[in-house]
Amino acid sequence: MANFDTLSAAAIAAGVKAGDFSATEVARAALDAIEARDGEVQAFLQTSAELALEAAAATDAARAAGEELGPLAGVPMAYKDNMHLVGTRTTCASKMLYNYESTFTATCVQRTLDAGATPVGKANMDEFAFGSSTESSAFHPTCNPWDTTRVPGGSSGGSAAAVASGEVPLSLGSDTGGSIRQPASFCGVVGMKPTYGAVSRYGVVAFGSSLDQVGPFGRSVTDVALAMNALVAGGRDHLDSTSQEVPANFLDGLEDSVEGMRVGIISALMEHEAVTDEVRKGLEAARAALEAQGVEVVEVELPNMTSAIAAYYVIGPSEAFSNLARFDGVRFGYQEPNCTTLAEQTALSRAHGFGAEAKRRQMLGAYLLAAGVYDKYYYPAQQVRTLITDDYRRAFECCDAILLPTSPTSAFHFGEISDPTQMYASDLFTISNNIAGNGGVSVPVGLGSTSGMPIAAQLQGPAFKDHTLLRMARALERSIEEAGLAKPGTVAPAFAGKGGEL
C-alpha cells in the first residue's frame, strides 16, 4: 500500500491510464485523506463525495471501453468556493450565500472535469475573496498545514492548504491582488496567476472584474503546467468577453535549458521595511539558483510599483461595490425575516449577510464612485494603472521574467494582524501583476531560518508568455531541489502519510 500524498497529479493520471490503479481507488483515498486531515486544517467548506465517485467511475468506464483519457484522468481536485459547480453550494464563504446551490458549472471547473479530474469539494476562502489570511470566512478559518497556529494566506487559503496538507494534489483558486500566489507562498506550494484573459472567468463570482484571474495550485511546477493545459483546452470561451486564445502546451519544453535567458531584479524593493531578513535570504537563494541554471541577472526598474496598492484599493473596491450590488436578499442568498418593506429587507439582508471586510470594501467603493469623488480618485488610479503597465513593458524589453519575493513575510499567526491597512501590505509584491494583467508564479525556495515556515520567490513574465514563465519556474524549482533547499511535491510534515492509502 502506498500513501496517496506521495503521488503527483501527473503520476496519478499516468497510473490511471496504465491501469496501475483505478480512478475510484484514488477518489476514495482522497476522501479518506480529507476525513483524516481536514479536522485540523479546515481547508474545505464542503466535500462532494457523490460527485467524486461518479466522476471516478466514469473515468474507469471510459478506460475499460478503450477510450482516450484526459490529462487529469482520476486526479482529485478542490475548487475555491467562488466557482460554480452543479451539485454543490457556492457560498463565497459568506452568510449571504450560505445556502446557494449552483445552477451551472464554471468554465474553468468544467474544463478540468472534461480533462478527467475528480471533484472532491469546495475550498474555504476569505469572504467574497476580500482578505489575505482566510480569517474573514463566515464559517471558519483555515489553518496553515505547516503550523496550525498560523494563517494559510488568502483569499484562496483553503485551496492552498488542501494541496499543502496532501488532501488533493491540485486545486483552483482566483487571484485579484495576489490571492493565489501569497497563500501558495505561505503554504509551501506552487501557485500560478496566468495572464489576464488566459483562463475563462465565466461562472466565477466576481470581485474585481478587471483584476480577477483563475489559476492552479500544485506541489510542483509540472503539476501546475498540467493543470494549465486543461484550463486553456478548448480555446477562447465565448461566455467570457475577456477570454483569449492560448494555444500553448505548457508541458512542451518545460525541462529545457534556460541558459542565456535573463531575469530582472529590483534591488531597491528589497530594502523595503516590510521585508523580513528570511525573505531576503530566500530571494538571494532563488537568484543564485537561477544563475546556477545559466540565467543572466540584470537590474530593472518598476518605478511606479509602490503606487500599485493605492491604485488597487481604489479600482478593486469600486468594482467590488458594483459586482456585489446584486446580492440584495431578494433573488437568492440570505434573506432577513419579518421585514415589512422591500427597502427594509434589502438593507437588513445586506447588513446581516455580509461580514465586516465585505462591508468595508463595498462602502469604500460606494464612496469612491460617488459624484465629486470619482474624478479625484478613480481616474488617477486608472492613470497609475497605465504607468505600471508601461513600466512592465519597458522592463520586459530587458529580461524574460522579473524575480521578486511573493510576500514580504512568511505566514503570520492568527490575530497577529488586525489593522486592515497592514493586512493589505501582504500583497505588496503581487498587486502590480494584477494591475498590469501579466502572469506570475510563486515557487517555494525553502524554510525560513527564523520562522521555520515556507518562503517563496515569485517570477513575473510578459502577458501571454506564461509558457516561458513556467519554464523558468521549473528551472528555479530544479536548482532549488539540487541545492537541497526545498523538494517539489513535499506535503507539510505533520500531515504526510496521514490517511489516504492507495
User: Would you give the DSSP letter of residue 73?
Assistant: T
Q: In terms of Cα–Cα distance, which of 188, 150, 163, 266 is closest to 445?
A: 188
φ, ψ at 175 (rounded to 5°): -130, 110
The grid coordinates listed for 404 are 521578486
Please give the full DSSP string across 158-174, using - where no structure is assigned: HHHHHHHTTS-SEEEEE
Among this protein's residues, is 179 annotated catalytic?
yes
- Decide: 488 and 164 in contact? Cβ < 8 Å: no
Catalytic residue among 22, 137, 179, 432: 179
Q: Give how far the C-alpha of residue 226 lies from the chain's centroid of Cα atoms, to the nearest Å.
A: 15
* Residue 438 contacts residue 195 (beta carbons within 8 Å): yes
* Residue 325, all three cell numbers: 450590488
DSSP string across 187-253? HTSEEEEPPTTSS--TTB--S-TTT-EEEEEESSHHHHHHHHHHHHTT---TTSTT-------TTTT
Residue for grid cell 442568498: 333
Task: Output DSSP code: residue 297.
Answer: E
What is the C-alpha separation between 352 and 95, in angstroms, rounded?
A: 8
Write down the catalytic residue from 17, 80, 193, 498: 80
CA 359 to chain CA centroid, nearest Å: 23
Q: How many Å apart are CA 119 and CA 27, to the nearest integer?
A: 9
Please state, in angstroms and rounded to a whole number, the distance separating the CA atoms of residues 502 and 499: 9
Paired with 47 in beta bridges are 121
> CA–CA separation, 272 vs 258, rounded Å?
30
- CA-to-CA dists, residue 484 to 5, 230, 454, 477, angstroms: 21, 31, 14, 11
Phi and psi, residue 331, nearest 5°: -85, -35
Phi and psi dihedrals of 122, rounded to 5?
A: -110, 130
- The alpha carbon of residue 5 and the mean position of all alpha carbons in its chain are separated, in whole angstroms, by 20
Strand partners for 402: 264, 460
On whether the CB atoms of residues 421 and 261 are closer than 8 A, the answer is no
Catalytic residue among 155, 407, 426, 432: 155
- Could you tell me how far CA 374 lies from the centroid of its own chain? 31
Which residues are tagged catalytic? 80, 155, 179
